[in-house]
Structure 1
Amino acid sequence: MINLFEYQNKVSLPEEHFENLEMFLDDIWNKREKSSYYNEDENREEVQHFLQFLHKTNQLKSNKYVGVIHFENQTINLLPKIFYDSSKEVLEDDVKVINSHVLWWLSYCRKLKFPNYQTGLNNEQADFFEILIYLFGKYTKELLNSSIYQKYIEIENELSFVKGRIDFNKYITNNLSRGRNHKVSCAYDSFEMDNNFNQCIKQVTKLLLTASKDNQNKRNLNDILFLLDEVSDVSIGADECKRILFNPMFSSFETVRDYCVLFLENSVSFNYKNSLKLFAFLLPMEYVFEDFIFGFIDREIDGVKPFGQVKDKFLDTEQKFNLRPDLLLETLSNKFIADTKYKMVYAAENDSKKGISQNDLYQMTAYAIRFGISDIK
């Protein structure tokens, strides 16, 4: 097991695997779904940003992504930089604790609706990805055992009686002109379980089944596939999955939908060079952390209303340079601007600047002037 912290430590990799891993990550980057966790430049970029490959020394160094990579029977954990301690060796139990923190952050993210993640951590595993599979599998199986999502879908079929509306064009072309006037081409709504949401669940479940090595996870995933046996095998993209909406009666299915989007946007599984099953699940941590801060304030701090990425202010009068502070906080008596800085601050006791960079100060000053706010955090 290899443990890499964002922008911190370096680890050697055998030369025979070095180039193959780089090719694998390039493929993942190019085949990934366009994610709301990536900015526009990153979504257009063609060269992978997951790891730095130091070719002179055959060493790896992590960038800003957190998650797990399975490669050549090797697990590479990409961990948050704020937990890095150069004087301490990272043990398997340490990785479990770090994974628990990351899951706690994800549970507050606006882009996701997690169930109570702590119920799945009684049997903690070192692999962050296996924990996510456990949460998805356990929650989805329990939900489908109580109720399988069904919705009305338009069906086109030939019937011996009229149902719904008659498709006269098809009836004349395919039936009447061929002496099959006893068959009527009809289009009607039917309450079906073979819909795009269940198809998405089935697709993600099969994806995870090929990647998981945990027996409990495999049992949960196989149980889901058994419950969705009558659902068609259809490829559903993350964008289509995001657009699936539920009425209040089925609001519990939103959690499953968000899990599906999470896996589809941030993971890739396929046979590489027709020989090895490889997998990667990666998230850009600085955006997850920003999302977590917003969600935590929104849910846990009474009397404070957060607004994220407010876009109606500009630095210049011609409105060419848009200002987007991370957070605008409103209380009954005041407004604050806050900027989430996902970084370690090494401030010596005699440092008058307290570890604050000059660029950060300029940025916050511009926000304060344009928003007319005197309190910045």
Structure 2
Amino acid sequence: MTLEAFAPSQPLTLGVELELQLLSTHDYDLTPYAADMLRLMRQHHPDLPGTVVPEMTRSMIEISTGICQDGADALAQLTQIRNALVACADKLNIAIAGGGTHPFQQWHERRIYEKERFHQLSKLYGYLTKQFTIFGQHVHIGCPDADAALLMLHRMSRYIPHCIALSASSPFVQGQDTAFDSARLNSVFAFPLSGRAPCVLTWAEFGQYFNKMTATGVVQGMKDFYWDIRPKPEFGTIEIRVFDTPLSIERAAALAAYVQALGAWLLDTQPFTPCEDDYLVYTFNRFQACRFGLEGVYVDPANGAHLSLAEHILRTMDTIAPYAHSDFSLLRTSVEQRHNDAHWLRECQAHTPLLGEVSRQAALRFRQVPPMQP
């Protein structure tokens, strides 16, 4: 198999994907209603933008927008899809929530969705496949050409800790507080083709790498790479994959707007030439963002300076503000208050010992019902 050509796309256009939890309204554990949800969505809402598709296990679905011009466009599309999902969920007496992990589900109870690729992955990865019942947001950003896409990918890698800390919403796993803001990414890191893309800067070089990987038989196509950022040649985009699914579509759209502004700045200023040394502190910075969220430490790969991740995000927001196509002030307020969705979930848990109630509150937040009062 050879690497497909990089399709033309309008630079800086966006696409947003969200993996969502399907919850029983009896105990707010995960419930295997994906097939029923998809059936109702096809019957009652066939003309929505984007798609609604199954995910690895039967208690998950993935929604995606169509091509969006900016974060406001993404929010408008996500709102239509969210409202349709909530209406269908009500018919089934289930609930829908964001969040990067379900707080107390047990992985061994999950069932693989009936799709050939998912069963192939289950045979290959064993129990890891069911443990992949985790929930992320992916943001696609259009690039002018293949070489520009690789340059943006590697320039964007310096800001992966931003994406993790701003979206972190997975503090709980199997009934325990993990002490991580984003425990979800620990599950992703278990896969052998996860992590970072190789530091090649032209599509020709990337094609050589791809051919070597397919020659080994380890890789059949781009979907086999679980990298934090990967090219998506059929869309003409790069795809950032480290976000936890936020608890609200408003935050999901703001994250897309932030990525778009960052991409516009990177395309316009070409602020640095990526190199392998950029990745010397990549895993350290990634860990800090996962473990401590906005309270983490950021090591600047350019000069080795240490500063708080929140401060680095705020400085970056100041830099890219002139390039913003739509508002992401929701995120700035979050950074200033050092308060992300992981903190919100912990605050809910502090008011009740029942993690089922935390899941219920998350489902109410997804559908825009005011949260409980302390």
Which of the five TM-score ranges fits, normalised by the shorter chain? Answer: under 0.3
In the superposition, the TM-score normalised over structure 1's length comes to 0.27
Greater strand fraction, Structure 1 or Structure 2: 1
Greater helix fraction, Structure 1 or Structure 2: 2
Q: Which has the higher contact order (CA 8 A, sep 6+)?
A: 2
